[in-house]
């Protein structure tokens, strides 16, 4: 665990949990050990009024508007990596899925599948990272569940989060709304998260710093929506990268997408790592970037807002929507040729989020 950013040796864990330094099956049994795990690990980290009721379900006050609802599971390996952990991913992934509908994330649930033998202090570190990410995203984790499986039946810790958010009346961004003439924008460099996981998992030393881009995107989305009501599509290009996300949009909207390959931002170290491993950064996963498809008259204003935001300073215009080759994504290369970017077949790098 050399890549864990916290100092686990000096980390203060709220033990004793009946003096168990590691998770045992009884921690998922619903009895006294489960109660102690909740009292000592989860409640101090996630504390909020809704969670403290400890009821079978949580009653929520929701402002007027329409609800967006999303869920996702996180099985990333390793659990900690440069710039993040499974804890941050479990929050960022779900709040970003809500934000891609234009919804302001409000509440999350969190379900943990723990492997017998997982160190309690490691679980506490994951939960603390998760709680910090929730505070930064301005969401409350209001309900949850914990199960423990036998040693060898999981890989330390899996987390499932579900979230609800609120969005105002009116059209909302959706994959089927791209129109010919729209402009394709991206909020920053591609491939950072995927290559970070690859380097840690495989023990590769690229003699450079790779770090996940995992981040909550709603604040950026809100800034964009304040200057335009014509943001037709938002998408966070996670598994399968930007190429797969754009293929899904092209298919849903029945349009073609023309990219300028040289305009796609990629960090030099990510580009070098991809070249070494024979990978294409446009297919590599991201956890803190978005693709926006915007009406042409609003594209410049939206791009300016994106560039002014800390999470969008490397934003770029990378292409446009066309009525030609519907359902396909085509890239113009640096030498003036064109190539088709098909939907990724299978998974380039499993267990990435």
- Give the CA count within 13 Å in the CB-facing half-sphere of 222: 14
Q: What mean pLDDT comes out for the span 39-54?
A: 93
Q: What CATH code would you report for 182-340? A: 3.90.650.10
pLDDT in tens, 254-297: 999 999 999 999 999 999 989 988 899 999 999 999 999 999 99
Q: Which two tokens stand for residue 272?
A: 């070098």
| Residue 164, pLDDT above cutoff 90 | yes
Higher pLDDT, residue 184 or 19? 184
Q: Are strands 329-332 and 291-294 parallel, antiparallel or unpaired?
A: unpaired
Among candidates 239, 230, 252, which has minimal Cα distance to 329? 252
pLDDT value at residue 4: 44
Q: Please provide the average confidence, as pLDDT, over all residues in the chain.
A: 92
CA-wise closest residue to 304 among 224, 219, 204, 194:
224
Percent of the chain with pLDDT over 70: 94
Q: What is the pLDDT of residues 203-242, one digit of tens each?
A: 776 666 899 999 999 999 999 999 999 999 999 999 999 9
pLDDT value at residue 3: 44
- Cβ neighbours for 131, distance < 8 A, ≥ 6 positions apart: 45, 46, 87, 141
Q: Can you give the pLDDT at residue 2?
A: 40
CATH superfamily ID and name for 22-167: PurM-like, N-terminal domain (3.30.1330.10)
Contact criterion met (CB below 8 Å) for 107 and 139: yes
How confident is the model over 61-73, as pLDDT tens digits? 999 999 999 999 9
- pLDDT recorded at residue 20: 83
Q: Global pTM?
A: 0.93
| Domain layout of the chain by residue ranges | 22-167, 182-340
């Amino acid at each position: 665990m050399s890549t864990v950013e916290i100092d686990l040796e000096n980390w203060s864990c709220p033990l004793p949990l009946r003096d168990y330094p590691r998770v045992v099956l009884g921690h998922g049994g619903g009895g006294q050990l489960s109660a102690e795990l909740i009292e000592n690990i989860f409640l101090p980290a996630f504390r909020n009024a809704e969670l403290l009721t400890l009821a079978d379900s949580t009653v929520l006050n929701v402002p007027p508007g329409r609800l967006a609802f999303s869920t996702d599971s996180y099985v990333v390996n390793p659990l900690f990596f440069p710039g993040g952990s499974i804890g941050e991913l479990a929050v960022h992934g779900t709040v970003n899925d809500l934000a891609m509908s234009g919804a302001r994330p409000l509440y999350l649930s969190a379900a943990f599948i723990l492997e017998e033998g997982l160190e309690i202090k490691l679980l506490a570190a994951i939960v603390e990272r998760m709680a910090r990410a929730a505070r930064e995203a301005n969401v409350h984790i209001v309900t949850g569940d914990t199960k423990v499986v036998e040693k060898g039946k999981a890989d330390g810790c899996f987390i499932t989060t579900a979230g609800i958010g609120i969005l105002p009346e009116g059209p909302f961004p959706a994959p089927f709304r791209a129109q010919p003439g729209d402009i394709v924008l991206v909020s920053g460099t591609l491939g950072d998260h995927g290559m970070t996981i690859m380097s840690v998992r495989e023990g590769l030393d690229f003699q450079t710093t790779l770090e996940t881009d995992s981040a909550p995107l709603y604040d950026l989305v809100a800034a964009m929506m304040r200057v335009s009501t014509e943001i037709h599509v938002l998408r966070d290009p996670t598994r399968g990268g930007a190429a797969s996300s754009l293929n899904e949009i092209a298919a849903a909207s029945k349009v073609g997408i023309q990219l300028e390959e040289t305009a796609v931002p990629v960090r030099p170290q990510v580009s070098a790592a991809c070249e070494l491993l024979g990978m294409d950064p446009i297919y590599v996963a991201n956890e803190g970037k978005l693709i926006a498809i915007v009406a042409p008259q609003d594209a410049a204003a939206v791009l300016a807002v994106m560039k002014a935001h800390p999470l969008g300073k490397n934003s770029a215009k990378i292409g446009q929507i066309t009525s030609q080759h519907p359902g396909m994504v085509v890239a113009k290369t640096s030498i003036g040729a064109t190539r088709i970017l098909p939907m990724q077949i299978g998974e380039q790098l499993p267990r990435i989020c």
